[in-house]
Chain A
Amino acid sequence: MTKQLRSVDVVLVGFGWTGAIYAEKLTAAGLEVRAFERGPWRDTPGDFATTFAQDELRYYWRHGMFQEASQATLTFRNNGAQTALPMRHWGSFLPGNGVGGAGVHWNGQTYRFLPSDFEARSHNEDRYGPLPEHMTVQDYGVTYEELEPHFDYFEKICGICGQAGNLNGRTVDGGNPYEGPRSDDYPNPPMQMTFSQDRFAASARELGLNPFPVPSANMSRAYVNPLGLQLAPCTYCGFCEKHGCGNYSKSSPQTTIIPVLMQRPNFSLLTNSEVLRIEKSADGSRTTGVTYVDTSGDTYFQPAEMVVLCAYPLENTRLLLLSQIGEPYDPRTGEGVVGKNYCYQVMSSATVFFEEEFTNGFIGAGALGMVADDYNGDNFDHSGLGFIGGGYIACHTTNARPIESHPVPDGVPRWGSKWKRAVRENFLKTTSVGVHGASMAHRSNYLDLDPTYTDAHGRPLLRMTYDFTLNDRRLTQHLTPVAEQIARGMGGREVKVNDRRGSYDSVPYQTTHNTGGTIMGADPATSVVNRYCQSWDCPNLFVAGAGLFPQNAGYNPTGTVGALAYWSVDAIINQYLRQTGPLVQT
């Protein structure tokens, strides 16, 4: 039997970056906020202290802080003709779990999307003519200019370390000349670069490119954010991504927001409590709260005046489908919206092997890198290229965790004496130039509910139907050779190119940048939420996260995810609370 609880003003489903952002702003506005997190409590001293955080087997290979597939996974197939099968354990991406979500174990590369990324359809059609049929690329419905103050605030909350390239329209040397105008500089200077970045930057400049420091959420110095919270200097330990930071030097919900929230009497958080459904009023015009289950198996109804979905994009999409909110997307007709425009990231790289020089990759940090944006977005002329979008090309030194990072040159076998020797010879002498390619939406890539497989509570798993598109292939074929060229100019003995070829493979880790499914837009016929991230169907339901992206840009998503959350919560406080109801009239 479902027990009923006392009503609260706001329920947040999921408590990672966006949950913390909404909670902080909404409790500051005086609302009673209750967050639900299906994973456990997590904090620095107890869960990833410097005494044991640097444990590669536990945190990466045994998925110490990721969602457990046994609790819920998804099914996957490359196309509609195949039968989707469960991802029995994670591979290509690693959804977070627990308080702080993936914000605990991200690398911290914190970009702003380009102004043209938010207008991907109109911008590209204006410049290059109509996009191909079935390329379901859309505008966000919100512009870079509107998001700018929110990018700026998120960067200050995180203490992002970087070099501005465009301050209020003025170009600044050493920064990204292509970035949208910034109202303010980064709150902290860039990190200290290592040998590999120096070689990359020199080679890129030689080719006429404009390298700049990766905007980093690993601190270049001690920093106090606008909430009074302290971030310590990064120590380049090389245990960043997939690990929590033991010395408070990586921005995370724990280091930048949660301690303030936990002091507020109008905030509460329930851990190990999984939201099963968003409940609706009889006429379906409002949400009335959520039904959740705790680990004892008891279910509860938590009434609320407003619900915000702050889980991972894949789970936000599934919850909407399970709750029958919004029209499910149908790839045959192209009608419907929930699950539409699932996108990913098209990654490739060129590994450099040095003969004499040591790269000492163990001296690294998640966002330690130099990057060039000359081939990102529409920063270059796409005429005649047959694709839109691009990606950044970067040289990061994130780690030399040996189970994960022991590249060997072309021609070396996978095992045996030759392999072992090659690992030893190259372990301290490699670096890599990576391409972080955009992923454009296509009619046949989507998310829906699986007809066969269910989760631990008997609910259908999400089904992902996804493959790289023609645009993706042309993009990666155009950009990977540039990365190779830079790599060859870095003075190494040899270069190994890691192309992105063939179908999308769910097995090898690529990146945890899953986007779409709950996309935002200007038209209820083609988007799940409006420009303020408010459900077109239930005005008291909001959605956060990278699921909002109508297609994915050639950047890491977190900066834009943070800005969209602050933009949306600002609209809730300054518009919605004054006059509840749709913020965009249809």
Chain B
Amino acid sequence: MSLQTRRRVLQFMLLGSTAFAAPRGLFAAEYGRGKGMPWSPLKGETPYYGTNDDRFFSPAERETVAAICARLIPSDSDGPGASEADVVTFLDRQMAGFYGRGQHWYMQGPFGEGTATQGYQSEHPPAMLYRLALAELDSYCRTENGYPFVDLPAETQDEILTGLDEETIEFKGVSAKAFFDLILKNAVEGFFADPIYGGNRDMIAWRYIGFPGTRYDYRDFVGHGGAAVRLEPVSLMGRPGWNRS
């Protein structure tokens, strides 16, 4: 059946003398109409590495965050940790960006307590949650231990972090547990994310666990049969071997 016949089959309605408007199309875009797939050279949503090197933390906050991360992912005889990977720089950039602002999150009230199965219900986006919780942590440490977090011995730091995790330490106005869960998640992100985001410096975490990074072709290794496949890691911006020494 031709286009014309189909059109006759479908009853037209509604139109008559209505004046038609054309969509402004300033933001919404129209595709199709026989024009094919859009494509042009040099175009692509490349990662915005390096452009977002904004900072959010104050110097004191930054020190505390670095100290927390150093306990969550410690540097030890088994290998590097959050300090060598510069996880704090990752977190600083993340908190300064859309993630820290909670820009993609639904942040309309009312805010309720909720059950554990209902997930994050804080009225604070991540960056503000950090800021408020870090202030609370600082005051807790000074009151209970006489020193800020960064100046406490590692064992004491671990005890405090365990207290946050297990909800034996509580903060005012902000959930200590929500903060702990978030910073643990974010620290792991920073440790293992591509180095373009500021952490996992020199792919140190990938080397540590044996992850080859952003490679895109393992066809030659599918039949490994349980043997190790050792490949130099590659980040989105390459690896040292791409450059002449």
Which residues in A have some Cβ–Cβ distance to B below 8 Å? 3-7, 9, 29-31, 35, 41, 43, 45-47, 49-58, 61-63, 68-70, 73, 76-78, 82-83, 85-89, 91, 99, 192-195, 198, 233, 235-239, 246-247, 258-259, 261-273, 288-289, 294-296, 298, 300, 303, 305-306, 354, 356-360, 362-363, 400, 402-403, 406, 414-417, 420-421, 423-424, 427-428, 452-454, 503-507, 577-578, 580
List 9 A–B pairs whose Cβ atoms lie within 8 Å, in order of A's numbering. Answer: A9-B7, A31-B6, A82-B115, A87-B119, A89-B104, A89-B106, A247-B216, A269-B31, A294-B24
**A68 touching B104 by the CB < 8 A rule?**
yes
* Residues A30 and B44 in contact in the complex (CB < 8 Å), given A4-B18, A86-B106, A424-B209: no
A158–B158 alpha-carbon span in the complex (Å): 52
Whose C-beta in chain B lies nearest to the C-beta of A50? B216
**B21 touching A416 by the CB < 8 A rule?**
no
Is B120 among interface residues, defined by CB-CB distance under 8 A? yes
Q: Closest CB of chain B to A491's CB: distance in Å?
A: 9
Of B10, B47, B110, most A-chain CB atoms within 10 Å: B10
Whose C-beta in chain A lies nearest to the C-beta of B41? A45
Scan B5-29; emit 1 where CB is below 8 A from any A CB, else 0: 1110111111100111111111111
CB proximity to A under 8 Å, residues B82-115: 98-99, 102-108, 110, 112, 114-115
* Residues A88 and B119 in contact in the complex (CB < 8 Å), given A43-B37, A259-B37, A415-B73: yes
A202–B89 alpha-carbon span in the complex (Å): 47
Which residues of the partner chain A approach B213 to less than 8 Å between Cβ atoms? 54
A400–B212 alpha-carbon span in the complex (Å): 10
* Top-9 shortest CB links A-B: A30-B3, A3-B21, A294-B28, A295-B27, A357-B226, A265-B34, A402-B192, A57-B193, A54-B214
**A55 touching B236 by the CB < 8 A rule?**
yes
Whose C-beta in chain A lies nearest to the C-beta of B126? A89
A559–B36 alpha-carbon span in the complex (Å): 27
Is B172 among interface residues, defined by CB-CB distance under 8 A? no
CB proximity to A under 8 Å, residues B198-245: 205-206, 208-219, 221-229, 236
Which residues of the partner chain A approach B81 to less than 8 Å between Cβ atoms? 420
**B209 touching A427 by the CB < 8 A rule?**
yes
Q: Closest CB of chain B to A569's CB: distance in Å?
A: 14
* Residues A271 and B31 in contact in the complex (CB < 8 Å), given A85-B121, A235-B216: yes
Which residues of the partner chain B approach A356 to less than 8 Å between Cβ atoms? 226
Q: Which of B36, B43, B208 contacts A424 (CB 8 A)?
A: B208
A254–B154 alpha-carbon span in the complex (Å): 52
Is B32 among interface residues, defined by CB-CB distance under 8 A? yes
**A91 touching B21 by the CB < 8 A rule?**
no
Which residues of the partner chain A approach B115 to less than 8 Å between Cβ atoms? 78, 82
Whose C-beta in chain B lies nearest to the C-beta of A247? B216
* Residues A358 and B216 in contact in the complex (CB < 8 Å), given A305-B12, A417-B76, A420-B74: no
Which residues of the partner chain A approach B43 to less than 8 Å between Cβ atoms? 45-46
**B10 touching A305 by the CB < 8 A rule?**
yes
Which residues of the partner chain B approach A360 to less than 8 Å between Cβ atoms? 221, 224, 228-229
Q: Which of A5, A30, A238, A306 contacts B21 (CB 8 A)?
A: A5
Which residues of the partner chain A approach B169 to less than 8 Å between Cβ atoms? none
A452–B110 alpha-carbon span in the complex (Å): 8
Which residues of the partner chain A approach B32 to less than 8 Å between Cβ atoms? 35, 261-262, 264, 267-269
A408–B108 alpha-carbon span in the complex (Å): 37
Q: Is the interface of B mostly helix, strand, loop or mixed?
A: loop
Which residues in B have some Cβ–Cβ distance to A below 8 Å? 1-7, 9-15, 18-39, 43-47, 71-74, 76, 78-79, 81, 98-99, 102-108, 110, 112, 114-121, 158, 161, 165, 184, 188-189, 192-194, 197, 205-206, 208-219, 221-229, 236
Whose C-beta in chain A lies nearest to the C-beta of B125? A88
Which residues of the partner chain A approach B21 to less than 8 Å between Cβ atoms? 3-5, 300
* Residues A296 and B3 in contact in the complex (CB < 8 Å), given A86-B108, A238-B218, A416-B74: no
A561–B199 alpha-carbon span in the complex (Å): 41
**B197 touching A195 by the CB < 8 A rule?**
no
A259–B39 alpha-carbon span in the complex (Å): 12
**A403 touching B36 by the CB < 8 A rule?**
no
Of B45, B118, B219, most A-chain CB atoms within 10 Å: B118
Which residues of the partner chain A approach B39 to less than 8 Å between Cβ atoms? 43, 45-46
Q: Closest CB of chain A to B157's CB: distance in Å?
A: 11
Which residues of the partner chain A approach B25 to less than 8 Å between Cβ atoms? 294
Which residues of the partner chain B approach A237 to less than 8 Å between Cβ atoms? 215-218
**B37 touching A258 by the CB < 8 A rule?**
yes
Of A195, A247, A402, A580, most B-chain CB atoms within 10 Å: A402
**B107 touching A421 by the CB < 8 A rule?**
no
Q: Closest CB of chain A to B2's CB: distance in Å?
A: 6
**B219 touching A424 by the CB < 8 A rule?**
no
A504–B115 alpha-carbon span in the complex (Å): 11
Which residues of the partner chain B approach A421 to less than 8 Å between Cβ atoms? 76, 78
Whose C-beta in chain B lies nearest to the C-beta of A48? B45
**A577 touching B6 by the CB < 8 A rule?**
yes
**A56 touching B193 by the CB < 8 A rule?**
yes
Q: Which of B3, B33, B79, B223 contacts A194 (CB 8 A)?
A: B223
A3–B25 alpha-carbon span in the complex (Å): 13
**B189 touching A246 by the CB < 8 A rule?**
no
**A51 touching B33 by the CB < 8 A rule?**
no
**A54 touching B236 by the CB < 8 A rule?**
yes
* Residues A273 and B76 in contact in the complex (CB < 8 Å), given A428-B228, A503-B117: no
**B192 touching A58 by the CB < 8 A rule?**
no
Q: Closest CB of chain A to B21's CB: distance in Å?
A: 4
Which residues of the partner chain A approach B2 to less than 8 Å between Cβ atoms? 30
Which residues of the partner chain B approach A357 to less than 8 Å between Cβ atoms? 226
Which residues of the partner chain B approach A454 to less than 8 Å between Cβ atoms? 108
Which residues of the partner chain B approach A88 to less than 8 Å between Cβ atoms? 102, 105-107, 119-121
